[in-house]
Amino acid sequence: MTAALRSLLARVAETARLACGLPSYEAYVEHQRTHHPERTPMSRGEFFRERQAARYRRGASRCC
């Protein structure tokens, strides 16, 4: 697979994650390293579970 195709697929996957409300793990790790170097970043699995829980813990967003 060429580098250009690999890059395109990575962008498509990132767009799909953002459309579903899942932020970028890479952006999270970079933020942790820059702003909180004393903290150990969550693993990719922990990050995914925490973000899903944060998204759905609000409960129903409609009245019916």
The whole-number pLDDT of residue 34 equals 95
Q: How far apart are CA 52 and CA 61, in angstroms?
A: 15
Would 16 be classed as within a structural domain? no
How many C-beta atoms surround the C-beta of residue 25 within 10 A? 19
Counted domains in the chain: 1
pTM of the model: 0.60
User: What pLDDT tens digit does each residue of the chain (64 aa) get?
Assistant: 799 999 999 888 888 877 776 778 888 999 999 999 999 999 999 998 988 888 777 665 555 5
The whole-number pLDDT of residue 2 equals 93
Would 29 be classed as within a structural domain? yes
Would 41 be classed as within a structural domain? yes
CA separation, residue 16 to residues 12, 22, 24, 39, 61 (Å): 6, 9, 11, 29, 22
Could you list the residue range(s) of the whole structural domain that residue 27 is in? 23-54
Would 2 be classed as within a structural domain? no
Would 18 be classed as within a structural domain? no
